[in-house]
Chains A and B, each alone.
Chain A
């Protein structure tokens, strides 16, 4: 169950570069992942050899592009174990997917209905639902956090009722790395008839999500978090839900017949894919999944947990260093502060040493408010990172602390 990390690192051209004169150490993987040559090559190959608009084209190259695009959808379906390829909607990413679902529920829910979302959410997960509630009068209820960064499951059970129509939780928290017990949340919610949307953006590069086994109603992720290109992602929806929801955007591809009196919409998945989609993005997404599956997500998960435990132990030996979020189940993310030092200062000095970490609120102000802090330094590790890099990060952090104190 070990990874050949040296070989893997060769797959990522960017890892060879230097930053500020030092070897580049990339610990900002929760923001976006780096891309292997295979994915980069698939993008070049598309533009060099079969760039064409998809569907409806009678010519050969259009057919090739269409096949590649639809093949990517099938790869995604297979990877996430969805029942039908048309249950996979290719979107511009998680934010787009969530807006699509929230918009779809606008006309379905009313002022007697409630939706339940967690305090752990990214801003992009909160705002679309607030916008929906403004339009239809539905009530937004919040599942609170506990001190260790886990969701308060008891409170979730108490807030869940017949009034709850949608439950929305992330699979993994972007700010703290907490892995939420989504299977339990889904089955509990279903017993009250609520639909469940899971944001898998932070999970997909670490964990395998089996959608049929989870029995989830909607699941979304972004390709760029899992070694794929930016600007493309997927929304999975159970067929019965996607058929029920109205289209989100009007345009080409999503129509069946158009007259000035009435337009009939296309079948799934085209109903939700208005306009020319991100063809090359989808193709790259497919190649990214191929790459991850060649290595094996189970191996990746095991190695990343090893990195997480190694780094956690090292960081904990630093005086006054406080880690936020120590859930029993978490991905390879460490959010921390050191004494009264500002995360911004630490991030700036670490950058001078060629180390990329994220600082600030991580688009999760409610989580920061919960801990009463203005931000954290967040180091997030991926399977192409090494223990040597963690050692270098630890030494540089000690130097930064000395400099700033």
Chain B
């Protein structure tokens, strides 16, 4: 599935929820099923800045697709990371670089995040794009 299709799928899933509580509960569930980063990769250089809780992100290129793995001490942060990984993991670096992230606003992720966490979210997206840039062919 391409990035646009995955985003639409997520937007549809989140549109079913009536209030913030359901959205958060779902995000927490997603966090529990995240592809966990290898413990040996939980190093300071893989830490995302701008988050109050520790959040690690790592990427590897396999068959020209970037596989992202993450973990966080905080379960909500982990849930946000899980949503982002669903969109970006297993995509080509070029597609990631060109991706337009309309889903962040659409699912009410951004408006429901505190400023500090919003920064963590922004930093996470930035780091994902950096990985894509580093691995892109151009």
- CB neighbours (8 Å) of A351 from chain B are 114
- Complex CA–CA separation, A351 to B117 (angstroms): 13
- CB neighbours (8 Å) of A349 from chain B are 24, 76
In-complex Cβ contact of B73 among A342, A348, A352, A403 (8 A): A342
A404 at the A/B interface (Cβ < 8 Å)? yes
- Complex CA–CA separation, A359 to B114 (angstroms): 12
Q: Which residue of B lies closest to A341 (CB)?
A: B75
In-complex Cβ contact of A352 among B24, B53, B77 (8 A): B24
Chain A 15-34 interface 0/1 with B at a Cβ cutoff of 8 Å (1 = within)? 00000100000000000000
With A352-B20, A403-B24, A403-B25 known to touch, is A345 a contact of B75 (CB < 8 Å)?
A: yes
- Complex CA–CA separation, A352 to B111 (angstroms): 12
- CB interface residues, A 382-405, toward B, < 8 Å: 403-404
Q: Which residue of B lies closest to A399 (CB)?
A: B21
- Complex CA–CA separation, A344 to B51 (angstroms): 10
The reply to whether B21 and A344 form a contact with Cβ atoms under 8 Å apart is no
In-complex Cβ contact of B75 among A20, A359, A404 (8 A): A404
Chain B 61-77 interface 0/1 with A at a Cβ cutoff of 8 Å (1 = within)? 00000000000011111
Q: Which residue of A lies closest to B113 (CB)?
A: A348
- CB interface residues, A 339-358, toward B, < 8 Å: 341-342, 344-345, 348-349, 351-352
- CB interface residues, A 256-279, toward B, < 8 Å: none
- CB interface residues, B 20-59, toward A, < 8 Å: 20-21, 24-25, 28, 52-54
CB distance from A123 to the nearest CB of B (A): 16
- Complex CA–CA separation, A351 to B112 (angstroms): 10
Q: Which bucket holds chain A's interface residue count?
A: 10 to 19
The reply to whether B24 and A360 form a contact with Cβ atoms under 8 Å apart is no
The reply to whether B53 and A344 form a contact with Cβ atoms under 8 Å apart is yes
A374 at the A/B interface (Cβ < 8 Å)? yes
The reply to whether B53 and A342 form a contact with Cβ atoms under 8 Å apart is yes
- Complex CA–CA separation, A360 to B73 (angstroms): 12
The reply to whether A404 and B53 form a contact with Cβ atoms under 8 Å apart is no
The reply to whether A348 and B21 form a contact with Cβ atoms under 8 Å apart is no
- CB neighbours (8 Å) of A341 from chain B are 75
The reply to whether A342 and B20 form a contact with Cβ atoms under 8 Å apart is no
The reply to whether B20 and A20 form a contact with Cβ atoms under 8 Å apart is yes
The reply to whether B75 and A342 form a contact with Cβ atoms under 8 Å apart is yes
- CB neighbours (8 Å) of A344 from chain B are 52-53, 73-74, 76-77
CB distance from A131 to the nearest CB of B (A): 25
The reply to whether B28 and A404 form a contact with Cβ atoms under 8 Å apart is yes
Q: Which residue of A lies closest to B20 (CB)?
A: A352
- Complex CA–CA separation, A399 to B53 (angstroms): 21
- CB neighbours (8 Å) of B114 from chain A are 348, 351
- Complex CA–CA separation, A345 to B27 (angstroms): 12
- Complex CA–CA separation, A123 to B124 (angstroms): 28
In-complex Cβ contact of A360 among B25, B52, B75 (8 A): B52
Among A20, A342, A351, A404, residue most surrounded by chain B Cβ atoms (within 10 Å): A342
CB distance from B123 to the nearest CB of A (A): 15
Q: Which residue of B lies closest to A342 (CB)?
A: B74
- CB interface residues, A 20-62, toward B, < 8 Å: 20
- CB neighbours (8 Å) of B25 from chain A are 403
Q: Which residue of A lies closest to B120 (CB)?
A: A344
In-complex Cβ contact of A374 among B21, B73, B77, B117 (8 A): B73
- CB neighbours (8 Å) of B52 from chain A are 344, 359-360, 375
Q: Which residue of B lies closest to A359 (CB)?
A: B52
Q: Which residue of A lies closest to B23 (CB)?
A: A352
The reply to whether B117 and A348 form a contact with Cβ atoms under 8 Å apart is yes
- Complex CA–CA separation, A345 to B51 (angstroms): 12
- Complex CA–CA separation, A348 to B118 (angstroms): 12
CB distance from A320 to the nearest CB of B (A): 16
The reply to whether A345 and B21 form a contact with Cβ atoms under 8 Å apart is no
- Complex CA–CA separation, A374 to B74 (angstroms): 11
The reply to whether B20 and A345 form a contact with Cβ atoms under 8 Å apart is no
- Complex CA–CA separation, A360 to B74 (angstroms): 12
- Complex CA–CA separation, A384 to B50 (angstroms): 33
- CB neighbours (8 Å) of B76 from chain A are 344-345, 348-349, 404
- CB neighbours (8 Å) of A403 from chain B are 21, 24-25, 28
Top-8 shortest CB links A-B: A342-B74, A344-B53, A344-B74, A344-B52, A345-B74, A345-B76, A342-B73, A342-B53
Give 14 CB contacts A-B under 8 Å: A341-B75, A344-B52, A344-B53, A344-B73, A344-B74, A344-B76, A344-B77, A345-B75, A345-B76, A348-B117, A351-B114, A403-B21, A403-B25, A404-B75
Other than the known A344-B74, A348-B76, A374-B73, what 8 A-B pairs have Cβ atoms closer than 8 Å? A344-B76, A345-B53, A345-B76, A348-B114, A349-B24, A352-B24, A360-B52, A404-B28
